[in-house]
Amino acid sequence: MKILLDMDGVLVDFVAGICKWFNKPYPYDLPESKGVWDVDRLLGIRPEEFEFCLNNARFWRELLWTNDGTKIFNAAYKCAGEENMFLITNPDGASYRYLGKADWVRKNLGHLWLDRTIMVKDKSLLAGPGRVLIDDKDSNVDDFLANGGEALLINRPWNELHSIAASPVCRVKAFLEHLRRKVAMK
Ligand SMILES: [Mg+2]
């Protein structure tokens, strides 16, 4: 079993980084914000200002872990082992994002993890038997499943699982345990 762990919104606190950069309050405590993916729209950030932020390597390099990011990472690590675990992220066509995201990995996990970091727009290219994606974007999970992989949508306030109260860490552990048993039974 190979686990592909999404960075932004799962391990890396993108939303907190945006709030800090633009000096805005965290928007997802408001009921009307639940399930809304575009944080820039919620915060009323102008497109050109948002682009400027995202094209800055420093923005990506200085993002912090999500509250449960290290626990999710450790749960996957414990289940799959280092050799079967990869980080996956969409650099969205900008070299500064490649650079900043690579810097984040080196700074937070060590340079060896750079060899385990996949930067690709279409994550479903990696889908297939024995491949598992853990991601916070509904469409990434849907596409990965449609292409023959296993996938778990992490419940976050900005996706369609926003009303699920269960801890994301517990859901990851239960999901991976379920897959491990399924593989063992074959
Ligand atoms: Mg993500």
For the chain (186 residues), the mean pLDDT of every run of 10, in chain order, is: 97 98 96 96 96 95 98 95 94 88 97 96 96 98 98 98 95 94 81
Each residue's pLDDT tens digit, 116-137: 999 999 999 999 999 999 999 9
Ligand 1 center–CA 152 separation, angstroms: 12
Ligand 1 center–CA 175 separation, angstroms: 18
Ligand 1 center–CA 88 separation, angstroms: 9
CATH number of 2-185: 3.40.50
Ligand 1 center–CA 131 separation, angstroms: 17
Residue of 137, 156, 162, 161 lying closest to 6 (CA atoms): 137
Each residue's pLDDT tens digit, 156-171: 999 999 999 899 999 9
The continuous run of DSSP H or E covering 89 comes out as strand 85-89
* Angle in degrees, CA 64, 94, 33, rounded to 5: 50
Ligand 1 center–CA 181 separation, angstroms: 27
Please give the full DSSP string across 129-149, using - where no structure is assigned: TTEEEEES-HHHHHHHHHTT-
Ligand 1 center–CA 139 separation, angstroms: 11
CA dist 171 → 46, 118, 174 (Å): 36, 24, 5
**Token duo for residue 111:** 């340079």
Ligand 1 center–CA 7 separation, angstroms: 6
Q: Which neighbouring-strand residues pair with 131?
A: 2
